[in-house]
C-alpha cells in the first residue's frame, strides 16, 4: 500500500480473434483487479481531463509507459503489433519437462497453438470464401493505391 492508494491499470489491446483483453499493460490478469481496470481510451480521456501530473496519481505507471511503448495514442490498432507482443511473451516458454511445474507462459503457448489450429481448420473448411475475401481486400488496396497516386502532384508542376 502506498500513500496515494491503489491505482487503476490499463487494459492491453485484445488479440484480434479474442472477444476481450485478459491482461493489463503491466501484465496482471484483469480478473484479479476487479474495479481497478480502465481501457486505453478511458486512460487517455482521464489524462486529457486532469493533465499528466494529476492523472499519474491514479494510474499504474508501468501500464502507462507500456501502453505508450506498445501502441502509441492515435496510431490505431495494429494487429501485427498486438500478435507480435503476445507471441514474444511465450516465445521461450518451456514445457514442464523433468518434473518442472507448468508455467502460465507454457499454458498460454499451448492455448495459442490450439487457437491457430482452429483458425487453420476454419480456413480449410471455407477455403473459397477465404480466398475470395483476400482477393477482395487486395483489390481494395490496389484501388486505394491508384487513387493515392492520382492525387500526388506531378513533378515539375
Ligand atoms: Zn499496471
pLDDT in tens, the chain (157 residues): 344 678 999 999 889 999 988 899 999 999 889 889 999 889 999 999 999 999 999 999 999 998 877 765 555 568 888 899 999 999 999 888 877 888 989 999 999 999 999 999 999 999 999 999 999 988 887 888 888 888 776 665 5
Place of cell 484479479: 32
Distance 9 CA to ligand 1 centre (A): 4
- Let me know how long the chain is: 157
Spatial separation of the C-alpha atoms in residues 110 and 113, rounded to whole Å? 5
Using only C-alpha atoms, the chain has a radius of gyration, in whole angstroms, of 21
Ligand 1 centroid to 31 CA: how many Å? Answer: 13
Q: What spacing in Å lies between the alpha carbon of 110 and ligand 1's midpoint? A: 25
Phi, psi of 80 (to 5 degrees): -65, -45
What pTM does this model have?
A: 0.76
User: What is the whole-number distance in angstroms between the Cα of residue 63 and the centre of ligand 1?
Assistant: 4
- Give the up-direction half-sphere exposure of residue 45: CA atoms within 13 A in the CB hemisphere: 5
User: What are the start-end ranges of the E strands in 35-151?
Assistant: 37-38
Amino acid at each position: 500500500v502506498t500513500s496515494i492508494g491503489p491505482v487503476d491499470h490499463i487494459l492491453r489491446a485484445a488479440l484480434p480473434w479474442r472477444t476481450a483483453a485478459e491482461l493489463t499493460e503491466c501484465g496482471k490478469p484483469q480478473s484479479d483487479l476487479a474495479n481497478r481496470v480502465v481501457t486505453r481510451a478511458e486512460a487517455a480521456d482521464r489524462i486529457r481531463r486532469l493533465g499528466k501530473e494529476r492523472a499519474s496519481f491514479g494510474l499504474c505507471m508501468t501500464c502507462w509507459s507500456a501502453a505508450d511503448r506498445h501502441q502509441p495514442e492515435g496510431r490505431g490498432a495494429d494487429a501485427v503489433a498486438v500478435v507480435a507482443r503476445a507471441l514474444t511473451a511465450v516465445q521461450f516458454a518451456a514445457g514442464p519437462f523433468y518434473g518442472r511445474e507448468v508455467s502460465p507462459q507454457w499454458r498460454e503457448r499451448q492455448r495459442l497453438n490450439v487457437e491457430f489450429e482452429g483458425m487453420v481448420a476454419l480456413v480449410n473448411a471455407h477455403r473459397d470464401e477465404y480466398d475470395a475475401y483476400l482477393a477482395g481486400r487486395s483489390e481494395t488496396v490496389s484501388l486505394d493505391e491508384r487513387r493515392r497516386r492520382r492525387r500526388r502532384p506531378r513533378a515539375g508542376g
